[in-house]
């Protein structure tokens, strides 16, 4: 069983999360900016569907990238160099959210509920949530959004509307990581796509230590707007 948290409650220790399903820690609480920042600081994130209560997760192990880990294949390198891509930071956060929320297949659903959308728009307005988008031939090709606290970027979702759109976004995010003060990217849960790109699995205890090391304070970090171009950063 997992605990039910009244709104504004403190979270239980992440190590109390269930093994099955992996990482399920608690239900309830709220999606206020204060609650979300507190959760991310502890390595906890919300993930639930519209017909469920708010569910909070802390998987073990954690899927992460470090700067330099990202694997750029020869095909992706050619795409980044030769297709006239431009990269933009925080230029259309609401549009990025909506693109990530769009069903991946006809009739499919999304975990980015109306309440989640409102919550992350609030985090963006406060300077905690950011997006990176990719444009090709002046059209949106892909993007990623997430939350940055200190030196950690907690990736929430990516999308592609053209070939390699999300891969290109992730590649540029890592190229810009030193400028943005990012030392660790949290990809939450592994999948074959992320592992091929260079992600690896970090035990929860090590992940918690990295959060303590990299998040000295949680004040918002403004991002430069761009545009940026591959090979010029």
Q: Domain-by-domain residue ranges, the chain?
A: 4-60, 63-214
Q: Kindly state the average pLDDT of the residues 114-120.
A: 95
Q: Evaluate whether 110 touches 132 at the Cβ level (below 8 Å).
A: no
Would you say residue 82 has pLDDT above 80?
no
Q: In this structure, how many other beta carbons lie within 10 angstroms of the beta carbon of residue 189? A: 14
- Burial code (b: 16+ CB inside 10 Å, e: under 16) for 106-141 equals eeeebbbbeebbebbeebbeeebbbbbbbbbeeebb
* Predicted local confidence at residue 211, as pLDDT: 98
Locate tokens 């919300």: which residue?
A: 46
CA atoms within 13 A on the CB side of 5: 22
Mean pLDDT value across residues 71-77: 89
Longest Cα separation, the chain? 53
Name residue, tokens 């160099």.
81
The CATH class that applies to domain 4-60 reads alpha beta
Average pLDDT over residues 74-92: 90
pLDDT band at 67 (very low <50, low <70, confident <90, very high): confident
The CATH class of 63-214 is: alpha beta
Mean pLDDT of the chain: 92
Q: Is 1 exposed, middle or buried (0-12, 13-18, 19+ CB in 10 A)?
A: exposed
Residue 74 has pLDDT above 60, yes or no: yes
Q: What is the predicted pLDDT for the residue at 103?
A: 66
For 130-168, the pLDDT digits (tens) are: 999 999 988 899 999 999 999 999 999 999 999 899 999
pLDDT (0 to 100) of residue 104: 61
pLDDT digits (tens, 9 = 90+) for 27-60: 999 999 999 999 999 999 999 988 899 999 999 9
Domains 4-60 and 63-214 share a fold: no
Q: Within 10 A of 41 (CB to CB), how many other CB atoms are there?
A: 17
Spatial distance between the Cα atoms of 199 and 194, rounded to a whole number of angstroms: 6
Supply the pTM of this predicted model: 0.94
| pLDDT over 90, % of the chain | 76
The least confident of 24-33, 106-115, 175-184, 205-214 is 106-115
| pLDDT score of 126 more than 50 | yes
Which tens digits make up the pLDDT trace of 166-206? 999 999 999 999 999 999 999 999 989 899 999 999 999 99
């Amino acid at each position: 069983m997992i605990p039910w948290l009244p709104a504004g409650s403190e979270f239980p220790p992440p190590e109390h999360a269930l093994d099955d399903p992996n990482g399920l820690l608690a239900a309830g609480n709220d999606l206020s900016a204060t609650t979300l920042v507190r959760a991310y600081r502890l390595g906890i994130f919300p993930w639930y569907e519209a017909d469920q209560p708010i569910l909070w997760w802390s998987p073990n192990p954690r899927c992460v990238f470090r700067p330099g880990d990202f694997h750029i294949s020869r095909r992706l390198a050619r795409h980044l160099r030769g297709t006239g891509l431009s990269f933009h930071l925080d230029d259309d956060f609401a549009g990025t959210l909506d693109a990530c929320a769009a069903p991946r297949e006809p009739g499919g659903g999304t975990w980015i509920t109306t309440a989640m959308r409102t919550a992350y728009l609030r985090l963006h307005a406060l300077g905690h949530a950011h997006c990176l988008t990719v444009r090709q031939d002046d059209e949106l090709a892909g993007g990623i959004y997430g939350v940055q606290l200190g030196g950690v970027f907690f990736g929430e979702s990516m999308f592609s509307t053209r070939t390699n759109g999300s891969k290109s976004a992730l590649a540029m995010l890592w190229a810009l990581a030193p400028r943005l003060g990012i030392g660790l990217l949290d990809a939450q849960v592994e999948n074959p796509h992320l592992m091929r790109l260079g992600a690896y699995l970090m035990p929860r205890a090590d992940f918690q230590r990295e959060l303590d090391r990299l998040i000295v304070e949680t004040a918002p970090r403004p991002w430069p707007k761009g545009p940026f171009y591959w090979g010029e950063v």
